[in-house]
Every structure is written in C-alpha cells, then in structure tokens.
Amino acid sequence: MLAHLSPGIKQYLIITGNYWAFTLTDGALRMLVVLYFHQLGYAPLQIALLFLFYEFFGVVTNLVGGWLGARLGLNRTMNIGLGLQLVALGMLLVPADWLTVVWVMAAQALSGIAKDLNKMSAKSAIKTLVPEEAQGRLYHWVALLTGSKNALKGLGFFVGALLLTGLGFAGAILAMLLLLAGVWVGSLVLLKQELGRMQAKPKFRDIFSKSPAINILSLARFFLFAARDVWFVVALPVYLAESLGWSHWLVGGFMASWILAYGLVQTQAPRFTGKKQGRLPGAATIGGWGLALVFTPLYILAGLYWGWPDDWVLISGLLVFGLLFAVNSSVHSYLVVRHARSEGVSLDVGFYYMANALGRLVGTLLSGYVYQSAGLLACLAISAVFILLAALIALALPAPAASR
C-alpha cells in the first residue's frame, strides 16, 4: 500500500510517526516524574523545578535548532532529537539513590532539547512538502499533526501512570527506551536526506525573526501557553491528588483523557473555523477564539471560590477549556507555518516555538510557586489575564500576503 503513495505523503507519514512515538514517551515521562516525585514527598515548587531546565533548554533549542535545521537539514535535527531522548531516558535508569533533583533536572534538560528539536523539525518539514497554493491542505496537515501529537501526549500521560503502577519507575523508563530506540533506527534509514536544508548557509544572527507577523504570533503564543501551564502542569495534578484525594491512577487517567480529547479536537479545528466554506483563519479567528477562552478559567475560579463541588466544576470547566484552547493552538500552529518563509522555514518556526517554550517555562515555574504560595485560584486568575493578552496581541496580525 505504501508503495503507491507519493514521496511527499511517505515523508509526511514518517515524520508524523517519529513525532507520535516521541510524544508518547515524552508525555509518559512527564507524568512519571510528577507522580513519582510527589509520591516521594516533594513540594509542588520542587516538582516544578525538575522541569526548569526542560523548559529553559527548549527556549535555547528552538532558536538554535531552527538555524541548525536550515544548515544541516530537518532529517538530521529530527534524528538528533530522537537520539537525545534515548540518552535522557537512559540517565533515569540509574539506582534510585542517584535520582537527585540535580540529576533529574539534567536528564530533563536533555529531554527538553530533544523534544523541541523533534517538534521544530516536524512542523517545519510540512511546509516543504506542501505547494504554496495548497493552503487548505497545509492547514489540514498541520491540524492533523498538531492534534494527533497532543492526543498521543494524553495517551502518554495515561501510559506513564499505568507503567508506574505496574512496572515501577525504572521498569517504565526501560520500556519507553526500548520502544523509542526502534523508532530511531527506522528514522535513520527512512527519512529523506537534506529535507528543509537551505542552499545558502544562514548566519547565526538569522535565528531572530525579522517578520512582524512571526513576532506577533510568537508574543501571542508566549502568553497563550503560559496561561495553560500556570495551572495545568503542576497545580492541577497536585490539587487533584491533595485536595480531592485522587489516586495516581485516577489523576493520570483523567489528565490523559483530557489531553487525548484536546488533541482530537485540534485535528478538527479546520471544521470549526470554516474550512469547508473556503475560509482560512487570520487575526480575527485567533482573536475571537482567544477572547472566548478567557471565560473558562474565570468560570472555574468562580465555582471553586463560591464552594461549588470541586470535581464537577473542574471537570466541566476543563472540557470547555480543552475545546477552546485546542482550536486556538491549532490555528496558531497553522498560521506560523503559513507566514514562515518558504526558504529557511525552520528559522521562523524555530523562533516561534522558542516563544512557545518560554511561555511554558514561565507557566511551569508560576504553577509551582503560585500554587504553593497562593493556591489554585490565584493560578486561574493569572491564566485568565495571560489569555486576554494573547488574544489582544493576535488581533494585530497582518494578512498573510503582507508578511511574505
């Protein structure tokens, strides 16, 4: 069956398969670390600090990774990312006494570099596989890649909780390492050479975007993802475990189901934004969907403040938040690829996902610090402010033709 597919479709499937496998292990690893170290008695801020280098090096990697992708080819940066994730997983196979905060932070640093090399490579590669005039297909492919990735990340949360329960921490890490090693070998053999490589070698200063559209999207993305992670990364799972008394299995299963559904909605974002009617998203789309999203953390905050049943408020609020955030994220992902340069796409995409990683870094740190010092309600209030800023900034986005 694969023999009858076009070369572009084959490369898209290989890239997507790599991205899926990586995301599954990445989501499982995050849930493993959160639950395992919470079980050991770590405070929320300490757990957040375990991801400090993961997020920080994601910022650096997206800047430098886009430049490397343009110089070396996206096939190489993707395979380097898979290899680094294997090293990060291997570092966590040491005896339990060696799993100090510093050691785990170092392993997470490698994992952060690996994840953002992999994501930048996958998102950039799609631009090179779709003709400029086929924007509907580009939107569909980006939404499918983004949504399926997040669905796999949600499944990874579930797998992480399941593996921790059934195999323990070391057994879970070993199982993921063996899975990813097989994928890495296949990628080395099958992925097309020179994918996304620029003919003229870009200079290092080219890592910083000169496009107003990319800069606006990047700033909006920073606030959008800081708004999500300020309450979702550390505060929510710890709140569910501490305040509601949920088991590790229940916390992991719930968050996995939420992200799985969130990813499936992302794949359908073109339907929600009018692709069947021939409409492609722009500034009004992300501004409007962003303003609608503001009300969901405020709803959860109000419900918890007024003493409504915690589990009912959180579950209903998260369902609406997931739907609206999924469409916002998917439209953002399409627009950055749409506005990126055809020659050297990884430079623009890398800069954009640098802002994404910086937003996650700020959100993760605030999630631990604010939850520990002021509780979940304060995290939700900050989330609402950040979402509002993201929506207002996005309204300044120029039309695609003006950015090219």
Q: Output the pTM of the full model.
A: 0.74
Assigned token pair, 10? 């084959």
- Nearest residue to 159 via CA among 82, 95, 255, 228: 255
Contacts 24+ apart (CB under 8 A), 93-96: 93/170, 93/173, 93/174, 93/177, 96/169, 96/170
CATH number at residue 370: 1.20.1250.20
| Tally of CA atoms within 13 A in the half-sphere of 118 that contains its CB | 33
Would you write out the chain's pLDDT as a tens digit for each of its 404 residues? 455 555 656 666 777 777 778 888 888 888 788 777 777 777 766 776 777 777 777 777 777 765 666 666 667 777 888 888 899 899 888 887 777 778 888 888 888 888 877 776 776 666 666 555 555 666 666 677 767 777 777 778 778 878 887 888 888 889 889 988 988 888 787 766 555 454 545 454 545 556 788 888 888 999 999 999 998 878 888 888 888 888 766 877 787 788 778 788 887 877 877 656 556 667 888 888 889 999 999 999 999 999 898 889 998 999 999 889 988 888 888 787 777 665 556 667 777 778 888 898 899 889 888 998 999 999 999 999 999 999 999 888 887 654 34
Question: Do residues 175 and 32 make contact, with C-beta atoms less than 8 angstroms apart?
Answer: no
Give the angle subtended at the CA of 11 by the CAs of 351 and 200, to the nearest 5°.
50
Decide: helix, strand or coil at residue 197: coil
Closest CA to 150 of 266, 295, 242: 266
Report the domain count for the chain. 1
Assign 3-class secondary structure to 109-147. HHHHHHHHHHHHHHHHHHHHHCCCCCHHHHHHHHHHHHH
Contact 284, 160 (CB under 8 A): no
Provide the pLDDT for residue 404. 42
Give the H or E element holding residue 266: helix 248-267
Write out the DSSP string of 13-81: HHHHHHHHHHHHHHHHHHHHHHHHHHHTT--HHHHHHHTHHHHHHHHHHHHHHHHHHHHH-HHHHHHHH
Phi-psi region of 344 (alpha: psi -120 to 50; beta: other; left: phi over 0): left
Residues of the domain holding 75: 2-403
- Please enumerate in sequence order all residues whose Cβ is within 8 A of that of 349, keeping only pairs 6 or more positions apart, or say none: 66, 120, 123, 124, 127, 336, 337, 340
CA–CA gap between residue 277 and residue 392 (Å, rounded):
26
Burial degree of 390 (CB within 10 A; 0-12, 13-18, 19+): buried
Counting beta carbons within 10 angstroms of the beta carbon of residue 278, is it exposed (0 to 12), middle (13 to 18) or buried (19 or more)? exposed
Place of tokens 């600090």: 49
Is the Cβ–Cβ distance between 284 and 274 less than 8 Å?
A: no
The b/e string for 145-160 (b: 16+ C-beta within 10 A; e otherwise) is: bbbbbbbbbbbbbbbb
Give residues with Cβ within 8 angstroms of 380, minimum separation 6: 231, 297, 298, 300, 301, 304
Q: How many Cα neighbours within 13 Å face the side chain of 227?
A: 30
Residue whose structure tokens are 């929506």: 391
